[in-house]
Amino acid sequence: MTTDITFNENWERRWHPLLREWVILAATTSERPWSGETISSGPEENPVFDPDCYLCPGVTRASGKKNPEYQKPFAFTNDFASFSLEAPDVHRHEPFEIVEPAHGICRVICFTPRHNITLAEMSREELLDVVNIWKKEFDELGRNPAVKNVLIFENKGKVIGVSNPHPHGQIYATGYVPKVVQRELDSFIEHKVSHGKGLLEELVEHELKKGTRIICRNEHFVAFIPFFARFVYETYIVPRRHIAQITDLTEEETQAYAEIHHQMIVRFDNLYNMSFPNITMLHNAPTSGEEKNRIFHFHTEFYPPMRSPDKLKYLAGFESGGGNIINPVKPEEAADRLRQASTIHYKYR
């Protein structure tokens, strides 16, 4: 362990303008640059088809429903969902017992029929199919009058509790707007009112001017680790044009999105030559139909839990109980590592 403490820009509280909270940068335990060894993430000897996997094509799920012999990404409603449109319509407002129904629809998206690969190992064209099903699902779910918000996400990796390796993501279409999306919307509106401009448009321009936290970009999108990153490799993909929701992307922009998303997840895997555990969130404008929702700026956030090849980031005492996350690595340093990571997946080299 090195004691390479940098006194500048350290022990800082950094303001997170979307969540409107402080993030602590405390790079006092700054680690040596990673030396290039690969960690043993265990041999992945999964078969291409697993008859015991409820996401594989042709398999009958526990609910008795049978998956089709799908070839392209396949979506279905989760048989054991956290939200349901059939939830009892309870509205109880008693002291200490305030209850509203958990109305919603939980969808599962199988990214590919192949059980034993990941999104990062799929081709850019296959990822484009996934982006297109995200758009289709968002459109259909968002039209449902019972749905106020559609949250598209992927949990990836055993370390964050994903037991089934079959590449899949989820969509929670809920009868209310989740806290983080609501907070971001409020921040977008407040910034627009006070600055007359879009928060993420201005942030992207700022990051491009600084340059040190940019990982990659294309004509329509920029990927960067924000100044106020909470996790070491926390990365945002933001469209340069103001777009409220994924369905507003033109065909060309959709392709550009698939391209940069693919490039980012390949870089993540190449960082430590391992399938990189990650949480991927696509933040879209709520679908409640209110005009102010249009101020929301569509973007993707990655929250990887890894801080080094053998260390996970846990939200420990101060963070869980105090509410401010401590980032142990400077965003510029982490961005530099991701920028240097190859864009060709390590398994294909």
**Catalytic annotation, residues:** 168
Closest of 105, 112, 113, 166 to residue 137, by C-alpha: 105
Contacts of 243 (CB under 8 A, 6+ apart): 249, 253, 297, 298
- What's the min distance (Å) between Cβ of 71 and Zn ion? 14
Specify the residue, 55 or 75, whose C-beta has the smaller distance to Zn ion: 55
Q: State the nearest-atom distance from the C-beta of 63 to Zn ion, in Å.
A: 16
Displacement of CA 168 from its chain's centroid (Å): 13
CB of 55 to Zn ion, least distance (A): 5
Residue among 59 and 160 whose Cβ is closer to Zn ion: 59
- Give the residue closest to Zn ion by C-beta: 53
Q: How many CB atoms within 10 Å of residue 191?
A: 21
Toward Zn ion, which CB reaches closer, 56 or 81? 56
> Which spans of this chain sit near Zn ion (rule: CB under 5 A)?
50, 53, 55-56, 115, 166
Q: What's the min distance (Å) between Cβ of 170 and Zn ion?
A: 15
DSSP reduced 3-state for 8: coil
Residue 50 or 186 with smaller CB distance to Zn ion: 50
DSSP class per residue in 19-88? TTEEEEE-GGG-PPPP-SPPP--------S--TT-TTSTTPBPTTS-B----SS-EEEE-TT-S--TTS-
Q: Which candidate, 193, 194, 190, places its Cα nearest to that of 182?
A: 190
